[in-house]
Chains A and B, each alone.
Chain A
Amino acid sequence: MTSIRSSRLRGLAAGALLSVAALTATTASHANDLLVAPTRVVLDGNRGTEVILNNIGTEEADYRISLELRRMLPDGSLAEVETPNAAEQAALDMIRYAPRRVTLPPNQPQAIRIGARVPPELADGEYRVHMLFRAVPRPTPVTAETDDSAEGFSIRLIPIYGVTIPIIVRNGDLQVTAAISNPRIVRQDGRESLSFTLSRNGDRSTYGEIVVTKPGVDIPVVRARGIAAYAEIGERTVTLPVSEEYQGSLAGPVRIQYRAPESEGGGLIAELSATLQ
């Protein structure tokens, strides 16, 4: 693996010398890679928990852990928030965590402690932040590849990549119901996919697994875990690709089930039987 990569780098260096205007490829070293577990945290009152961050790259890396706000859009994506509303600000204020910066050698895990300090006067509801884990790129030494040449120019695109996971605090006795409607067959990225509306009613989010089955077929034709409808929206669209072996065979009667995760009892949240055209 290493020898292949280094020979490829030598090839790149040779190519850069020959070309007039070389747009440099950055080195493909595995710095800044990361592993995070778990991928979702629900805090129970003031009891804290921990999230594991591990450096799975091949070089030492500096990681930064920060709190972000996201709002779910009707298509299910999570948009960044520029001006927090009162509930979002309250969520930011109550989450405590440490450390916020950590330098890790390869394969060194670090536990990030997370807790919530819930103010006694806090209104009932669900409060949520998204914890961002990412590595901060270190300045790279100037090499022959990045030298300016009189005749050309070079381009360096530096990715800063990471993971966000929701941190959820529930205050009070919260209720939610959900329903599935308007199922239809769509094409997404050239694949047959199932799209439907997931509506939500109540003062908290829903979270669980979508399983779509056809009568007489043992294996679900569509299956996706980790589907949420957050409290800030009343309904969202869910679009999921049909598994490879059942591409083109979605039409006909189907049963769509939305189930809570096993860790929360696995109960049925919503269900719809329909015939797809």
Chain B
Amino acid sequence: MNKMIKLAAVAAATASVALGAGTANAATASATATAEILQQVAVTKTADLSFGSLVPSTSASASVTVAANAAGTRNCGGLTCSGTPASAAFTVTGASGLAVTVSGLSGLTALTGPGANMPISLSGSTLDMSSGSDTLYVGGNLTVGANQAAGSYTGNFTVQVDYQ
């Protein structure tokens, strides 16, 4: 239902554009109404990447990994973990099933905060658009230093769905 509304919105926008071009030729007696159906893509975020709750080790730095799959499977390495991890999820819907690739995830290399930077690397799942829609999962590997200083750490990461 929601998708139908989106399609209608695009179709309506396109139709009005085409009609606008037609009315420029106001002298002719007959007018042609055209509506072009455009191949569209929609990207919606359905979940955020979360490592759950972590307690830094007092002796050594350690890495926690969240897999780029639906389960967001977590490997705590040498850390004490609790809470619910999650991979980030983006629903990519292309009405025409055109193939896409994903770029941009390698741009984020560290989280910044009050303590030392925490190295991070992100990875994404492969999108199969042949059925018209698929979910892109983004996981990551985060290294938490020994006695990592408390506070708020942030990082912006980019996800781009590239059409060929």
Interfacial chain B residues near A130, Cβ < 8 Å: 162
Give the one of B39, B55, B88, B113 with max A CB within 10 A.
Answer: B39
Chain B residue nearest to A242 (CB atoms) is: B130
**Smallest CB separation, A249 vs chain B (Å):** 16
Indicate which residue in B48, B99, B140, B159 contacts A226 across the interface (CB closer than 8 Å). B99
A153 touches B83 (CB 8 A): no
Residues in chain B near residue A62, CB distance under 8 A: none
1/0 contact trace for B1-38 toward A, CB 8 Å?
00001100110011001000000000000000000001
The 8 Å CB contact of B126, one of A36, A111, A150, A189, is: A189
**Known contacts A19-B53, A35-B41, A77-B101, A155 near B162 by CB under 8 Å:** no
Q: B98 contacts A39, CB within 8 Å?
A: yes
CB proximity to A under 8 Å, residues B95-113? 96-101, 103-104, 108, 111, 113
**In chain B, what residue has the closest Cβ to A243?**
B130
Q: B49 — which chain A residues lie within 8 A by C-beta?
A: 157, 159
Given A30-B44, A37-B41, A148-B151: A109 in contact with B13 (beta carbons within 8 A): yes
Interface residues on A, range: 35 or more
Is the pair B148, A153 in contact by a Cβ cutoff of 8 Å?
A: yes
Tell me which residues across on chain A come within 8 A of B44, comparing CB atoms. Answer: 30, 33, 56-57
Evaluate whether A28 and B101 lie within 8 angstroms (CB atoms) in the complex, with A37-B40, A37-B41, A107-B9 already known. no
Count of A-B contacts judged by CB separation below 8 Å? 225
Q: Is the beta-carbon distance between A153 and B159 smaller than 8 angstroms?
A: no
- Smallest CB separation, A242 vs chain B (Å): 10
How many Å from the CB of A48 to the closest CB on chain B? 11
Does A224 touch B at the CB level, under 8 Å? yes
Q: Interface size for chain B: under 10, 10 to 19, 20 to 34, or 35 or more residues?
A: 35 or more
Q: Do A39 and B90 touch (CB < 8 A)?
A: no
Q: For residues 122 through 177 of chain A, which have their beta carbon under 8 Å from a beta carbon of chain B?
A: 130, 132, 134, 137, 146, 148-166
A207 interfacial contact with B, CB 8 Å: yes
Chain A proximity of B89: nearest CB distance (Å): 10
> Given A38-B40, A157-B157, A160-B158, does the pair A25, B10 have CB atoms closer than 8 Å?
no
Nearest chain A residue, comparing its CB with the CB of B2? A56
A23 close to B53 (CB less than 8 A) = yes
Contacts A52-B10, A109-B10, A155-B154 given; indicate if A223 touches B164 (C-beta within 8 A): no
Given contacts A38-B38, A107-B9, contact A226 B154 (CB under 8 A): no
Q: How far does the Cβ of A266 sit from chain B's closest Cβ, in whole Å?
A: 14
Give 12 CB contacts A-B under 8 Å.
A20-B53, A21-B53, A21-B54, A33-B42, A39-B163, A50-B17, A57-B44, A77-B103, A78-B103, A148-B150, A158-B155, A162-B160
Residues of A bordering B, CB below 8 Å? 15, 19-26, 28, 30, 32-40, 50, 52, 54, 56-57, 70, 72, 76-80, 107, 109, 111, 130, 132, 134, 137, 146, 148-166, 188-189, 207, 223-228, 230, 240-241, 243
Other than the given A52-B14, A157-B140, A224-B129, 7 more pairs (CB < 8 A) read A30-B45, A35-B9, A39-B39, A158-B157, A160-B159, A162-B43, A227-B99
